[in-house]
Structure 1
Amino acid sequence: MKPPPFDYHAPRDLGEALAVLAEAGEHGKVLAGGQSLIPLMNMRLAAPEHLVDINRVAGLDGIEAGPDGVRVGALARHTAVERSEAAARRQPLLRTALRHVAHPVIRNRGTVVGSLVHADPSAELPAVLTLLGGTVRLARHGGTRRDVPAESFFTGPLESALEPGELAVSAFFPALGPRTGTAFHEVARRHGDYAMAGAAALVTLDDDQRIAQARAAFVSAGPVPVLLDLTEVCESRPAASVDWPAVERAVRDRLDPDADIHATAEYRRHLSGVLAARALRAAASVAAGEGHDG
């Protein structure tokens, strides 16, 4: 299959890219990794009149890890972020989740920011950004920039707060606080397939090793990543004494996933509960210094 006709643009710098996008407006699409966009175009589910290839724009492939977190540029490939030791030290959940993203050949080309902009609720990275309270930085011709928090960025299935003429130039994943651990678990028919269900978890312990905060963000559980605060269910107890079946029930009661050809809504709800409990227990173990992010 072939895409419909389009005008191809290959800007050399960010200013030129933003100028082209401003002129193209709602008829323009950005090409970075292209692992989602090109198949959609080939199937004629997307038909941009202008394709703006930003791969020649310098300075967009950075991975900056600092005390406050990790900023990932628009052209940073999945593999580059996954292999970054500095990024893993500041935000280990990034590496953990990226290992579940598609297959190595896809991760070699696909971009972290592109995955976020694609806004697929079945993808791992939107859930990670939501759990961590991260942001996406959007730029527009004329110098205007805005940082959009994850809770506002994902607006629907394959829909984001990105407006016509804007370019997502980076994403920021905040670092973890003290005595905090994360974990990610999912179930897919084959490794690398979209998950039938998945959960990213974050747990913070107090000075007595009791759970002070417990949150989970879910994959394939709704039209956008779903974030649940489960701190109250964990009852400020050490992980070993938490009523984990009650946590599973709380998750099932609060989620309303859709059914599709891969799983019924009830099965997806059941998986989400089981995965959330597993991920929270693993995150608590990491927070206590007893395990590894996974």
Structure 2
Amino acid sequence: MKPPPFEYHAPRSLGEALDALAGAGEHGKVLAGGQSLIPLLNMRLAAPGHLVDINRLPELAFVDVAPEGVRVGALARHAQVERHEPAAAAQPLLRQALRLVAHPVIRNRGTVVGSLAHADPAAELPAVLTLLRGSVRLARPGAVRDVPAGDFFTGPLESAVAPGELAVSAFFPAPPPRSGTAFREVARRHGDYALAGIAALVVLDDDLRITSATVACVSLALVPLLVDVTEAVGHRPAASADWASASRLVRERVDPETDIHATAAYRRHLAGVLAEQALRDAAREAADA
């Protein structure tokens, strides 16, 4: 199939891009990697009147690493961030998750910020941003705002990006001292959307006792779901924590749906199994930090 007709814009500066989006309003869409948008256009599931192609804005293809965390520009590709050694050192969960995103040919073109703006609850990166309590920077002519992850994902395939705004970057905070992260998922084949997935963050004190344990869920709710399981394992040595109790909390909190790939009951079961595995992995990494 072919996409419906639209007016194509190829801005040469960020200002031109913002002006084009402001003029298009609710009828505008941004083309960055296009790995989600192009199929939607071709299947006539999206019909924007204006398509604003930002691929001629190299100033947005950055990955900046600072002690506070990693900021990723709107044109930074999945593969670019995955291979970025300083970013992986500053925030290991980024690489852990990106290795599970689709297939290499898609990661070579798709963008991190585009995946966040697409807001698919079955995608890995929205869960990463949610777990790390990161944020997305949105711009329009004359104004910039940072939206925290907890407010950014408003529904399945719905985000806080307003008509006329461009998601210009995303910020992934650095992990706390003596912490560990892990990402576990189950898919029908590697690279497919996960039937269920769990990103985990565990923080220890100097005596290797757990001070915080949280997970973010993939394909288990209408938006990335953050679950704090500290009450089940807090202040206990990481080596002897009751991760089974933590996994039960996750199973109780998730709200999966049945589809052609898996039943809700099976996804709930996976949530518990993956949560226990990911939390153990994250605690082990924290103890070795």
Gaps of 5+ in 2: none
Does residue 43 of the first structure (1) align with residue 59 of the second (2)?
A: no
Structure 1 residue 58: deviation in Å?
Answer: 3.0
Structure 1 residue 17: deviation in Å?
Answer: 0.3
Structure 1 residue 113: deviation in Å?
Answer: 0.1
Q: Which residue of 2 aligns with 1:99?
A: 99
1:11-160 to structure 2, matched below 5 A, reads: 11-141=11-141, 143-160=142-159
Distance 1:97 1:183 in 2: 8
Does residue 220 of the first structure (1) align with residue 210 of the second (2)?
A: no
SS at match of 1:196: strand
Number of aligned positions between the proteins = 289
1:198-217 to structure 2, matched below 5 A, reads: 198-217=197-216
Structure 1 residue 224: deviation in Å?
Answer: 0.3
Distance 1:30 1:265 in 2: 34
Distance 2:88 2:11 in 1: 32
| Contact map agreement 1:74 1:113 (CA 8 A) in 2 | yes
Distance 1:56 1:217 in 2: 34
| Contact map agreement 1:13 1:58 (CA 8 A) in 2 | no
Cα offsets for 1:14-40 (capped at 9, x unmatched)? 000000000000000000000000000
Structure 1 residue 3: deviation in Å?
Answer: 0.4
Segments of 4+ moved more than 4 angstroms: none
Distance 2:249 2:170 in 1: 31
Distance 2:251 2:136 in 1: 30
1:177-196 to structure 2, matched below 5 A, reads: 177-196=176-195
| Contact map agreement 2:58 2:75 (CA 8 A) in 1 | no
Cα offsets for 1:136-175 (capped at 9, x unmatched)? 000001x200000000000000000000000000000000
Structure 1 residue 237: deviation in Å?
Answer: 1.1
Cα offsets for 1:188-243 (capped at 9, x unmatched)? 00000000000000000011101110000000011100000000111321222122
| Contact map agreement 2:213 2:234 (CA 8 A) in 1 | no
Gaps of 5+ in 1: none
Give the superposed CA RMSD: 0.8
SS at match of 2:137: strand
| Contact map agreement 1:12 1:58 (CA 8 A) in 2 | no
| Contact map agreement 2:251 2:271 (CA 8 A) in 1 | yes
SS at match of 1:288: helix
Q: Which residue of 2 aligns with 1:240?
A: 239
Distance 2:118 2:96 in 1: 20
Distance 2:111 2:50 in 1: 20
Distance 1:32 1:244 in 2: 40
1:247-286 to structure 2, matched below 5 A, reads: 247-286=246-285
| Contact map agreement 1:197 1:221 (CA 8 A) in 2 | yes
| Contact map agreement 2:18 2:140 (CA 8 A) in 1 | yes
| Contact map agreement 1:132 1:174 (CA 8 A) in 2 | yes
TM-score of the aligned structures, taking structure 2 as reference length: 0.99
Structure 1 residue 259: deviation in Å?
Answer: 1.1
SS at match of 1:266: helix
Structure 1 residue 248: deviation in Å?
Answer: 1.9
Percent of residue pairs identical:
73
Q: Which residue of 2 aligns with 1:168?
A: 167
